Structure 1
């Protein structure tokens, strides 16, 4: 009987204690989405709008006041001339034809530290809703 008791008492070592280390929460994303109504409301406050379509698409019609910076021609860095004068903490609205390119550009801007808002539906939805365009 002592043998059984010794075998149990001297058995395998106990499992090592596991410790959970708390980490700081990830910072809130600087990227968000809106629709054309959200863009229209924001434009009343004078926000910056970047249209990432090609120059030809932009010339055919764009959101009033938008600046054309084709997706392939800028990097989301403060040294990029296309981003001159943009406050990284003030949301910049990004639009394309339908929302795909602008989503990629908004991701790039957010990764570069800029507050970026992707406009879902893009210029196509803007025009379909009867919103004004410039050429």
Structure 2
């Protein structure tokens, strides 16, 4: 993921955690769109990008967010290990 971002591929990271969690630590350049708000903000997302959803550890909220975006036709996946793993690497 880090290599893809450094190569400036068309990837957007969406952090689906709440504002307080995001404020404590987040991946640089990540958009903070809480999972319940994703539905209301989907029209603002450009289908020309690949979206990677993240939460703390990856797999819960982030998997749900990616699944939702895929159902709408977006290129989406979730980051295994989430923000916690990103910060540790």
TM-score exceeds 0.5? yes
* Equivalent position of 2:86 in the other structure: 126
- Considering only CA atoms, is the larger Rg found in Structure 1 or Structure 2? 1
Greater per-residue strand proportion = 2
TM superposition score normalised by structure 1? 0.59
TM superposition score normalised by structure 2? 0.86
User: Counterparts in 2 of 1:53-132, with a 5 A limit?
Assistant: 53-75=17-39, 80-87=40-47, 89-99=48-58, 100-129=60-89
Structure 1: gaps (5+ residues): 1-38, 130-135
Q: How many residues are matched? A: 86
* Equivalent position of 1:50 in the other structure: 14
Moved beyond 2 Å, runs of 4+: 80-83
Counterparts of 2:3 and 2:28, CA distance in 1: 13
Query: Over aligned residues, Cα RMSD in angstroms?
Result: 1.5
After superposition, the Cα gap between the structure-2 partners of 1:40 and 1:107, relative to the gap in structure 1 and judged at 3 Å, is same
Greater per-residue helix proportion = 2
Structure 2: gaps (5+ residues): none
